[in-house]
């Protein structure tokens, strides 16, 4: 699995819940949501485009920050 980092313009718990919902629908994703820094880290076999499209379904502004190295 690749670890990808995305910026998602989340302002509250509701926003992060929306992100959680769309990612659960995608299935098989393990992810961390960093609400204060508006970042979502996703462990996935899906490609970046699929993940970005999925995150945009929340209605939030989302962009790809890059691959995260796994320590």
In the predicted model, is pLDDT for residue 18 greater than 80? yes
CATH class held by domain 2-66: alpha beta
Distances (CA, A) of 5 to 49, 54: 13, 14
Q: 21-67 pLDDT, tens per residue?
A: 999 999 878 999 999 999 999 999 999 999 999 999 999 999 999 99
Q: Which residues contact 23 (CB under 8 A, 6 or more apart)?
A: 29, 31, 40, 42, 54, 55
């Amino acid at each position: 699995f690749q670890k990808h980092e995305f910026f998602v313009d989340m302002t509250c718990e509701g926003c992060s819940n929306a992100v959680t919902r769309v990612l659960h629908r995608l299935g098989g994703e393990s992810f961390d949501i960093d609400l204060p820094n508006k970042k979502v880290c996703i462990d996935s076999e899906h490609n970046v485009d699929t993940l970005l499209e999925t995150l945009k379904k929340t209605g939030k502004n989302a962009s790809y920050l890059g691959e995260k190295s796994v320590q």
